[in-house]
Structure 1
Amino acid sequence: MSTTKIPSLNDYSATSLQSFFGILTSEFESDRSQAHNRDAFEALRVKWVGRKQGLMNEIGDLLKTAPPEARRDVGTQFNAFKKLVEAQCDFEAVRDEFHATMAQAGFPVQREVARGIDITLPGAVRTPGIAHPLLQTMEAVVKVFHQLGYSTSLGPQVETDFYNFEALNFPPNHPARDTQDTLQIAGQSGKPSRDRLLMRTHTSPVQIRSMVAGPPPLRIVIPGKVHRNDAADATHSPIFHQVEGLCVDTNITFSDLKGTLDHAMRALFGSAVKTRFFPSFFPFTEPSADVQISCIFCGGSGCRKCKHSGWIELLGCGMVDPAVFASVTEERRKLGFDDNAYDPARISGFAFGMGVERIAMILHGVSDIGQFYSGDMRFLEQFA
C-alpha cells in the first residue's frame, strides 16, 4: 500500500474543495483496490481512520483553519468522504455486500465458516469409529445362531411383572422378585401384580412375547441389555447384556440342545473346545443344566483363569417347562387366539442364555467388567 500525501488547499472555494476531496477519493480508491483479505483491510483502516495516526485526523486538522463562512460546506464534504472511507474499510460489510450482489445475480456463494483459519495447516483427522467390544461380542454370538437358522427378536427394557416373572414360572415369593435383586419402577403399588413395571432382569420376556405373538415352529436369538440391583465390582454390574435363545417345535429333545450349544461354543472359541453339562435349576426350564467349556487358555490342563479345574462355566440352558407353555396358551386365549398351538403334549423346546460381558472377558482376557463401561479410550482402542 503506497504512501499518501494530503494535497494542498489554497482556498476554500467550491472548486478548490471539489478538487481537494477528488484527489483524496482517488488516493483512497487506489489503496482500496489493493486490499484483498482481512489483514489488508485492517492495514487500510489503520492508515485512513486509525485513531492516532489515521489520515482522517490530519485532514480534519487541516480543515479546521477554514473561515467561518466556508465551514458548512467543508463539514458537509468532509463527513461524506469520511463515511465513504469508513464503509469501505469494514471487511465484514464489504464481504456481505459482495455476497448479496453475487446471490442476487444467481451465483453460488461460499460463506466463511470460521475466522482465523490457517488453510496452510493440515486438516483435522477424523478417525473412523468402531463397535464397542461388547457389541462386537454380542454380534459374534448372534451371527453363530443366524447361521443355524435363528432370527433375532427384541423387546422393551421396561417390562411387566407378567412377562418378566409370572409367565416364566417364577412364583410370587421367588427371591428374584425382591427389590434386592430387581429394579422396580416407582408408583406401581396401585396396579395389579402382573401389570407392575420393572427393569427387565433378563431377556427371557422376549421369549414369552414371541410365543404369544405366533405359533411354532420358533427359532429366535435375543440379544439385549438387562438390569439388576447388583453392587458394581470386578465381576458384577447393575447393567449388563445377555444373549438368549429359544427353539420350539415338534420332537425337540435335550440332544438337540446339546448339539446346538456344542456347535455354538466351537464356533465362538475354536474347534478344539469341549463342552460338558451339569444338572442345575431354573424356574422356566426342566430339566436344566449349566454348560462349561474346556479352558481356552490352558486347553483343559488347569490354570489360574479356570481355577486349575480345566473348565469355565459359561451359560445356563434347559428344556422349556410345560408351565411356561401353559402361561403362553392362556395369554394367547385372552388375546383372541382360539388354538392350542403350545400344547406340551404336541410340542417341546429348549432355551439358553449367556452373559455377553463374561464371554468378552474370557475372549479378551479382561479381569474387571467395569472397564467396558469406563469410557477409557486407552482401553477401548485396543479393540480397534
Structure 2
Amino acid sequence: MFKKRKSLLLGIFFTMAGLCLFSSLTLLIINQSLPKRSENPELLSENQMLLTQEANHLLSGVGNQVFPGWSVERIPWVFYNETAAFAVGIDTPLSEGWTMYPRTHQRGGEWQPVNASGNTVFRTWIEDPQKTPENFVVKIDDQIAASFQTQEFALIYFHDLMYTELPPVLREIFPYRIFFRDLMLAPEAYISSLAHEAFHVFQARQNPVMFENAELIANWEKQYPFENENLMKNWKNELKVLQQAGEVSTREEAILVAEQFLKVRNERRQSAQLSDALMDYERKREWLEGVAKYAELQIGKIAAQNEFLPLPDSTQKLGLKNYSSRAQFFKTQLSTMSKTNMDGEILFYYSGFGQGVLLDHLMPGWKDRVLQGDYLEELLVESIQP
C-alpha cells in the first residue's frame, strides 16, 4: 500500500513538474515574440487610427452619461512612440512642438503633414527620449490635446519597465500578454486609457484654474511621506472601506460607508500628522486624477450595460465586438483596491474613483459641483448631512 501511494505521489509530482516546465517553455517562447521597438515608428499605423476613431465614437456616444457635456467636446490627440509624436484631429500647427500644459516648457520641433490611413496628421521627431508628450495633456498653439503612447509602444514601454523590476528568472517567463490584456492590449482597454486622458482635456476646458492648481501641486509628491509604513497601512484600510461602495444599493447603505470612510480618513491624517498643505495635495490630486479614473472606468461600464456597439471597422479590424469586459473590470478595480500595490500617487486615482462611486448614490448633482472645483470629500461630507 505504501509503495503504491508513493508511486502515485511521485507520478503526480512528475506530472505537475512536467506541466510547469512546459508552461514555462511556452511562456519563454511567447515572450520572445514581444516587440522590442515599433514596427514603423515614423508612421502612425492603421491600427492606431482605428483605435482613435473608436475612442471618439465611444466618447460621443457615451460621454454625456458619464459627465454632462463630455460628449460634445471635440478631443484632439497627440500620440507618441520612441521616435515621433503625431497630432491627430488638430488644426495645422503654427508653432513648433508642444507645450507641457499647464506648465510652460516647450518640446518638439517643426510639425510636418504626413498621411495616416488616408487622413492627414502632423508629425514631429522626438530627439530626447526623456522629453516626450507623456501620458496626460499637451497644448499646441491654443489647442489642448490628450496625449498618450501608441498602443504598440505602450506594450514595449511597460514591458521594459516591468522586466527590470522582476527577478531574473521570473522576468523571462512572466505572462506579460495576459497581464497587460485588461490594461492596454485589448482594444477596449486601450480605449479606456484614452478616455482617461480625454477627460483631462474636459477638466482643463471646464475649469482651467482648478486644473492648473491640481496639476502643479504634483510637485508635492516629493514631500508626501509615501515611505511611511504606518501611513500606507492606514491608506489600505481607507481603500478597504471605499471598496464597499461597489456593494451598496441604497442611500442609507452609502451613508454608512461614507461616514466610515470620512472617519478613517480623518484618523489616518491625524496619525500621520499631515500638514494642511499635504491634505490639500491629496484633495487636489483626487480631483484631477481620481475623477479621471472614475470617468475612465465608468465609460466602459456604461458602454457594457447599454450594449454600445463599436464601429464596424473596430469589429472587423480590431476584433472589438463589444465592451462587455469593461463591466467586470470596473467591478474588479473597485473590489480589489486595498489589495492592489499602490505606488505613489496611484493612491489618489483609486481613492478619488471610490468617492465618485459613493457620490453616485448620495448626490445626483455632484459632477457639476466637482467641475466647479469642489473637492470629493467635501461633497461627501455635505451629502450625508441630515
TM-score tier by shorter-chain length is under 0.3
State the TM-score, normalizing by the size of structure 2.
0.25
Structure exhibiting the larger radius of gyration computed from Cα positions:
1
Give 1 or 2: higher strand fraction: 1
The structure showing larger relative contact order (alpha-carbon pairs under 8 Å, at least 6 residues apart) is: 2
State the TM-score, normalizing by the size of structure 1.
0.25
